[in-house]
Amino acid sequence: MTAPGTPCPHRPCKGTIRVSGYCGTCRRHPSTAPTREEAGPAALPGPRAARCDDDAPAGTPRAAATPGALDRDGLVQLPSIPPPADADVVRAASRRPEGGRRCGVQDCTGTIGLSYDDGPAPDEGFCPKCGTRYSFLPQLGPGDVVAGQYRVIGYLSPGGTGWVYLAEDLDLPGQRVVLKAQINTQDAAARRKAVEERRSLTTLHHRDIVGIIASKQHRREGESEPTDYIVMEYVAGRPLDQLLRSSDEELTELFGEPFALDHVVTYGCKILGALEYLHDQGLLYCDMKPENVIHYDRQIKVIDLGAVRRIDDHDSALVHTPRFAPKKRERDERGFLVDSDLFTVGRTLAALATRAKVPAGLAARSFDRLIGRATHDDPAARFTSAVQMSRQLWEVLREHRALDRGERYPERSTRFEPTAVTFGAALGAAPALTHWTLRPEGVAPPDLATGVPTPQETVRALPGPVADPEDPAAVLLGGLAGHAPERTAERVEDDPALRTVEVALWLCRSYLLSGESGPAGDPARAAAEKWLGEAVRLMGPDVAGYDWRPPWHRGLLLLARGRVKDAQGEFAAVYATVPGEWAPKLALGYCAEYLRGTLAAPRPAGDEAPAVQAAAAEEARTRAREAEAEAEAYYRAGWARDRAHTSAAFGLARLRLLHGDRADAVRILDQVPTTSRTYDLARIAALRILTGRVTGTAPSQADLREAGERLAELPRDGARDRLVAEIRENVLAGHPAPGRPVPWRSRLALAVGRGTVTTDAEPDFPRLPPGELFDGAASREALAGLLYGSLRTLVGQAREAQRAELLDRAYAVRPQSRF
């Protein structure tokens, strides 16, 4: 805060800063003045000139905003809204507040301002309970001058407890201010509220909250006591409730593009920033709604602080708007708290979102989950701070931008640790020698392994939560031996200081990862469940019932036991609590993919009638398609946002291969960045997809040509030799010797049907792509010779026990010599 008496930083103003924090001459806050660097000529062509000039002083030329661009805070750059003309915002005649109001006399339960006998509600009268006189007539009219300095231009609106006027500062011609006074000057409660509002306003200095300039007293002719007026800055812009009444065409013209979810989220983050500041000052806003937020220039400002009250105030009358506030029963039982304030923000954003275009992909669902948590009927399930809600809202913005605009935001999560393990990456490994040694003689090579990974493999690839830094033992977790959790468990038993929530959760994960890989139970998994129960006990029911970490660990335990459907429910609970995070979406994507496979599996024939069986099969196919769409949405959300989530990339590739779409599967894997630790896995997986048998179909010549080009980029090592052998064997299996069955469909063969056929004569052998992979393979015999050479090369990599099997397989494909 700038000290009183400091010269005003605005130029050419010569005033000084008052105790209120505003200049006594120009009435502006010093925070809105440009810094020396920003004000100088050198700043104009620099980076600030290219982004939103949020802090530029009034009258400074603005750089043209690119629709949808981000500002320095990482939020959407809002369009510039010019100040409206006075005539467009004021009324020449007053409009009395609607409905009755509670009498302001302490302990009086009377209601004043009610109409009788279907007549108009009176502007003046007496309380029917205590007889105290009241008046709803405005104290000022257009042309009146307050304190010899402020001339009233017109009425803005009746506020919650006071009349609001637009006035001109006669000391600064052209400068507009807002005057606010009580609606009923006889209302003692309103007077106390006005005093509280003045005290609150004079201590608040936030760029997104309306500021107070001064407090003045003015006595009208005929009045015995002067009336107090708050002089506030005038925010010349457009209330957000006007967005709800605007047409799609008007919104598109205003924002330079269709009004979208990222605009709603930007409003939300700015509003939450203002409320966070209020909460830090021990204050509640209480009456958040679209009409209490003004979009002016390229910024927003929260106005009408008449409802502000202290967090510990449970006695004064609550000023709120029922359709945006929690239910009356809740307000009566527990009062208005921080989560109640966040509830009103959630309702405000939900109202604004009704005017936004439908978001792409999963972003709409994530936003709905966020609103659902903010406005949950159970207060304990809501966000507990504006920072917490803002962080998740910011994450949803990133997800929306990635899905809708193709922008990626690789940023470390504040909730989950990064993971170096990828599930489903076996597709990117060169085949082991057992691919040949364990296969019986005469059996064709198997289909490419494109099935969903096992639940146990996925458990090892999903991340663990970031440790709570407030936990007493959090600093010790990094030095514990994860491969030997029993040693840590023994220490915890001996040292009660180590028996904390984070240590218990760490032991749960460590035992889980050290257990057996099969779905059956084992002692390690039982120990993991024991320590999860201990973590829940240490949290206590009030925390554990709403914390996302217990359901995350329960989901991992259920996955380890193969109970994927039950695990899906736990991960869904985590998603509802932290809707902006990537980890629960990756877990849900896997669950949907796995369950899709169980739904798509052939149904055993039963005793039902054929029509019943057909209906059940069609229902299963429908559910399988729905599960596949779910897996696609979850995987896509993670991969579009951050290319580090390669488990999502492999998942998307597997989904493409369900329909034989090699090209799109390869395209997705090619998006893995060269800096990723899984880059080589992705390259090998793409090569195997291009050359393997997928859904019973052989690769095309174009696929093989591309594979040859990709193979040339791989290092010459044992893995490359095995890949070459696999590719040559796959192609040869599609072109058997005359008189032998064709084991799988081939797009290379010219005369092979959809089923297994037997040929009496060798069909025309296709022209294979040139290059090292098929060098000289102009016939089946030549290709068999190349495969023979590959298998002989693998003999040198094999253990002695495997060599005989590999030699036998090599001689089995060796073309017969004519000599």
Residue numbers annotated as active site: 287
Take residue 562 and report the two structure tokens written for it.
Answer: 């193969």
* CB 726 within 8 Å of CB 795: no
* CB 575 within 8 Å of CB 552: no
* CB 473 within 8 Å of CB 503: yes
Question: How many C-beta atoms lie closer than 10 Å to residue 663's C-beta?
Answer: 14
Take residue 16 and report the two structure tokens written for it.
Answer: 């000084």
Alpha-carbon dihedral sign for residues 317, 322, 328, 330: negative
Concatenate the DSSP letters of all residues of 623-652 into one string. HHHHHHHHHHHHHHHHHHH-TT-HHHHHHH
Q: What angle do CA 757, 761, 767 make, to 5 degrees?
A: 90
Take residue 115 and report the two structure tokens written for it.
Answer: 């109409």
From CA 199, how far away is CA 253, in angstroms rounded?
Answer: 41
Partners of 422 in beta bridges: none
Take residue 310 and report the two structure tokens written for it.
Answer: 């202290």
Using CB atoms within 10 Å of the CB of residue 188, give its burial: 0 to 12 exposed, 13 to 18 middle, 19+ buried: middle
Q: What angle do CA 543, 545, 547 make, to 5 degrees?
A: 60
Partners of 296 in beta bridges: 299
* CB 744 within 8 Å of CB 698: yes
* Token pair 């209906």: residue: 615
From CA 377, how far away is CA 367, in angstroms rounded?
Answer: 17
From CA 269, how far away is CA 350, in angstroms rounded?
Answer: 14
Q: Is 730 helix (H, G, I), strand (E, B) or coil?
A: helix
From CA 229, how far away is CA 246, in angstroms rounded?
Answer: 34
Question: How many C-beta atoms lie closer than 10 Å to residue 56's C-beta?
Answer: 20
* CB 152 within 8 Å of CB 90: no
From CA 385, how far away is CA 713, in angstroms rounded?
Answer: 52
Of 547, 536, 592, 546, which is closest to residue 569 (Cα–Cα)?
Answer: 592
Distance of CA 307 to the CA centre of its chain: 31
The DSSP output letter for 160 is S
Residue type at 320? H
From CA 240, how far away is CA 299, in angstroms rounded?
Answer: 12
Of 715, 763, 757, 718, which is closest to residue 737 (Cα–Cα)?
Answer: 763
* CB 8 within 8 Å of CB 15: yes
Of 364, 361, 325, which is closest to residue 346 (Cα–Cα)?
Answer: 325
From CA 347, how far away is CA 362, in angstroms rounded?
Answer: 21
